[in-house]
Amino acid sequence: MSAFLIELKNADLTLGAGSAAVHVLKNMSLSIEAGHSVGILGPSGSGKSTLLMVLAGLERLDRGEVTIDGTALGPLSEDALAAFRGENIGIVFQSFHLIANMTALENAAIPLELAGRRDAFDVARAALTSVGLGERLEHYPGQLSGGEQQRVAIARALAPRPALLIADEPTGNLDGETGRQIADLLFAAQKESGTTLVLVTHDPALAARCDRQVHVRSGEIADDGLKGSDDGHPVQGGRAAE
């Protein structure tokens, strides 16, 4: 079994058809060790969100392979992929993606209910309490601040205890201080449960908090700031010797 939780090999993907076709991922390879945090940076339109969708099994490759925790996603049927995602991958979006007519508790319980967990509401309640929303369980998204809505989304993503947490500009819609609190929460949860965290951000300060920064440009890895010692373990705060 590989030490890598994520192995992306020669990933190639074109989206859209005809004159609207865009070659979004160009022979991209990326391996990420279990338990690490990686910040993905790059200009708008460079393929960052698409890369995350591929890692989450929400977008299929034209060529190449994505393997998560030893499972190659390509050969999986849609149903198998959905089940795998539910068990192994939590996703947080910039715009929260909560269901408006469901309470915070109901929102956080959705993935657990889909997985047939009888304790869905107990686990969701505990997850919401751990992100500081124990007093907001019965609130609807429209009754919550942006930061609180993102906390619900994080609780929903983390409640099934996924091995991989993917976040696409999780602080992009929040003010600076709220964004920092949300980042604190993501990193605390990651450290506590050993989750692998891959996040896209435009904020260099947020990316700098990750073990590693990967720069994407025009569908390619432009710079991979892999910090590592000889034994392959990460060293905080320094680039590997070249």
Strand partners, 224: 214
Cα–Cα dist 93/180, whole Å: 16
- The residue nearest ligand ADP at its CB is 16
Residues within window 187-216 making contact with ligand ADP, judged by CB under 6 A: none
In the complex with ligand ADP, the residue whose CB is nearer, 21 or 80, is 21
Q: Which does 24 bind (CB under 5 to 8 A by kind): ligand ADP, Mg ion, none?
A: ligand ADP
C-alpha distances out from residue 72 to 3, 14, 55, 81, 196, Å: 15, 20, 11, 10, 17
Q: Which is nearer to Mg ion, 41 or 105 (CB)?
A: 41
Q: Outline where DSSP puts E strands in the chain.
A: 4-15, 22-33, 37-41, 63-68, 71-72, 89-93, 164-168, 196-200, 212-217, 220-225
The residue among 32 and 200 lying less far from ligand ADP, judged by its C-beta, is 200
Q: Which is nearer to Mg ion, 49 or 190 (CB)?
A: 49
Closest approach of Cβ 6 to ligand ADP, in Å?
17
Cβ 94 to Mg ion shortest distance, Å: 8
Residue 179 CB, nearest distance to Mg ion (Å)?
A: 16
Residue 48 CB, nearest approach to ligand ADP (Å)? 3
Task: Using the structure block, give the residue that is written with the tokens 């449960």.
Answer: 193
Report how far residue 114's alpha carbon sits from residue 108's, in angstroms, rounded to the nearest whole number.
11
Q: How far is the CB of 133 from ligand ADP (least distance, A)?
A: 28
Give the C-alpha distances (Å, rounded to integers) separating 26 from 41, 55, 64, 166.
16, 15, 10, 21
Q: Does 170 bind ligand ADP (CB under 6 A)?
A: no
Binders of ligand ADP in range 11-70 (CB under 6 A): 15-16, 20, 22, 24, 42, 44-50
Residue 16: contacted member of Mg ion, ligand ADP, none (CB under 5 to 8 Å, by partner type)? ligand ADP
Q: Which listed option, ligand ADP, Mg ion, none, makes contact with residue 50 (CB within 5 to 8 Å by class)? A: ligand ADP
Q: Nearest Cα to 196, choosing from 31, 28, 3, 38?
A: 38
**Contact by Cβ (8 Å): 6, 198:** yes
Residue type, 124: A
Q: Pick between residue 42 and residue 179 the one whose CB is nearest to ligand ADP.
A: 42
Instruction: Name which of 22 and 115 has its Cβ closer to ligand ADP.
Output: 22
Q: Does 49 bind Mg ion (CB under 5 A)?
A: yes
Residues found near Mg ion in the complex (CB under 5 A): 49
